[in-house]
Structure 1
Amino acid sequence: MIDLAILYEHPQWFAPLFAALDRRGINYAAFGPEGNWSPGYGAIPAPVVFNRIAMSSFLREAEHPIFHTMALLDHWRRSGARVINGADVMAIDASKARQLALIASLGLAIPETRVVHRVADIEAAAATLTFPLVLKANIGGSGAGIVKFDNMAELRWAVNEGELPKSVDGVLLVQDYVPVRDGKITRIETLDREYLYAIDIVGGGAFDLCPADACVADSGIAMVAAEPDQMLIDAAERIADEMRLDVGGIEVMIDDRDGTPRFYDINALSNFVAKPMDVLGWDPHDKLVDFLDMVTAKSFA
């Protein structure tokens, strides 16, 4: 049996990880979520399973694997596998509403938000906020499913015409539009619930940008290595610990109106920044492989 199984769906994102594993000689197999599985059959693909299914997978395939993967990972866990970023983590990754509730439960600031599941409730939710505001899909990815409205007339038109974001789970967030100080957000990456590195993303606003995509695309978005305040690092580690997040990015922006740091997104995919040697001066995949090697060794202890 192999030591490590990696479940993924994006065809290019994980080439650096696979290369790092190959360099270390780790016995692994990587495969997609295609095919079928039996809930009554307890076989596991490996003692350790690393989940790399992205929320943005629904943008690439209408028959996306998000909910299928949650059930599969839970089945493998019950069958004895150590699942990294397993079904419980993925369930929070797949709900911005749950992410915000988790963050707020820790006493951290979030954008003022209302959660709805019916179009008929959107206007009433918006009436409790001030404009401008944004509508967000509860399951998004790489900026998908976010629309900004400057006034109620614009929102009412979109409601009447059906021109609204769509979430694959039918849930929407009506949210205060936060003016971001200096036009930048900070993404704090964690590994094993501890700080790994951070980058500032400039020019995109709080629109759930993918560091790998944005870095290689002609997007007008710049990313630079960052050194966040220790209070932000501590907060990110608390979020990761509360979520039991093995590896993932946590995004925060400074509200230009009052200087409040507002945490607004958790990304359990933790798709490391492209061209890390240029941006960071080191490759975080090496530390990720250290972690995978440690977890795999413990599974055989």
Structure 2
Amino acid sequence: MSKIYIIHENNEWTEHLTKRLEELYIPYEEWFLDKGLIDLNARPPEGIFYSRMSASSHTRNHRFAPEFADQVFVWLEQYDRKVFNGRSALHLELSKVKQYTALTKAGIKTPRTIAAVGKEQIIKAAERLEANSFITKHNRAGKGLGVQLFHSVDALKQYVYGSAFDEPVDGITLIQEYIKSPDHLITRCEFIGGKFFYAVQVDTSGGFELCPADACNIGDLFCPVGEQVEEKPKFQIIEGFNEPIITQYEEFLKANNITVAGIEFIKNSDGELFTYDINTNTNYNSEAEKAAGKFGMLKLAKFLGNELTKQQTVAVR
């Protein structure tokens, strides 16, 4: 029986999708790839495949899940199976260096960033950046890993040479100019089927933990960028959003064979727009969606169901 195969390593970020698939009576199967095997002489099952593999898998003791998933994608592609968010998406998910170079090549502005390996090189990168304020982040990240705000190189030295230093899993630390939003807001644009679905405004005044998944609302774990001035939702879907950057984002996703993604940008006090993150394992905030009456996982389930129907129709011809 042909079905949808969901490739992932985190049940908390997948159960919302499987519930929607069940509501719609769409057949599916989960491939939990924290470990496994591939018989290279066997044919993959019939169906379509959708990846929700995450860059932060190592924080859940699934260190090699993305590497294993990449090999599974190669096997699936050998037999011409349809894979949504396959190898190209995974490669961008696992490397912000690859994200920024791909965005820049597409003519999309990103913050000035220097990648460094080694503690001395991290300090040299900050000195070369010559920015009054800058942030560190992990190249292979997710969940805000390694994100810290600094206002001087001396402060960075205390962090890098101190016990609190967070070593990236791939050894690469990014030093990035800090783009300050005058209203402490960033915007996350969600795309499903390669098309814009909605934009959500995120209040960053409480810190850098910006993952919209309900399971990620775990408080202020990182250096704050300001103080909460008033009680308001952290995530709010924007009605009538029509920034011109949307067209560029859609073209970028198509060029990089990415079907589902959340792309984040920030504007400085001059109104300049900087794109700084692509999430190909995107999540949605339930409270924001309920308030707006728009539901990402439902939209995604319908998209995958339609793609499965298309494949089944072709197969019987």
TM-score by length of 2: 0.86
The 2-side partners of 1:238 and 1:113 are apart by 23
* CA drift at 1:233: 1.8
Matched-pair identity in %: 25
Aligned to 1:199: 200
Aligned to 1:264: 276
Please tell me whether residue 48 in structure 1 is matched to residue 84 in structure 2: no
Please tell me whether residue 103 in structure 1 is matched to residue 116 in structure 2: no
* CA drift at 1:117: 2.4
Please tell me whether residue 91 in structure 1 is matched to residue 91 in structure 2: yes
The 2-side partners of 1:205 and 1:79 are apart by 47
**1:74-102 alpha-carbon deviations (Å, 9 max, x no partner):** 22222332111001210111111111111
Unaligned runs of 5+ in 1: none
The 1-side partners of 2:178 and 2:206 are apart by 10
CA contact (8 A) 2:99 2:278 kept: yes
TM-score by length of 1: 0.90
267-276 or 162-171: which moved more? 162-171
SS of aligned partner of 2:157: helix
Aligned to 2:134: 133
The 2-side partners of 1:29 and 1:297 are apart by 16
Q: Which amino acid is 2:175 matched to?
A: V
SS of aligned partner of 1:201: strand
Aligned to 1:254: 267
The 1-side partners of 2:289 and 2:201 are apart by 16
103-112 or 42-51: which moved more? 42-51
**1:149-207 alpha-carbon deviations (Å, 9 max, x no partner):** 22111222333346433221111111111112311110000112210111001135783
The 2-side partners of 1:209 and 1:199 are apart by 11
The 2-side partners of 1:204 and 1:68 are apart by 37
Q: Which amino acid is 2:48 matched to?
A: V
Q: How many pairs are equivalent?
A: 300
* CA drift at 1:294: 2.3
188-197 or 25-34: which moved more? 25-34
The 1-side partners of 2:46 and 2:138 are apart by 34
Q: Which amino acid is 2:280 matched to?
A: A
**Structure 1 residues 84 and 131: CA distance shift in structure 2, 3 A:** same
SS of aligned partner of 1:128: helix
Unaligned runs of 5+ in 2: 221-227
Aligned to 1:151: 152
**Structure 1 residues 216 and 157: CA distance shift in structure 2, 3 A:** closer
Please tell me whether residue 230 in structure 1 is matched to residue 249 in structure 2: no
RMSD between aligned alpha carbons?
2.3
The 1-side partners of 2:289 and 2:187 are apart by 19
SS of aligned partner of 2:51: strand
* CA drift at 1:263: 0.3
The 1-side partners of 2:263 and 2:209 are apart by 11
**Structure 1 residues 204 and 53: CA distance shift in structure 2, 3 A:** farther
* CA drift at 1:37: 1.6
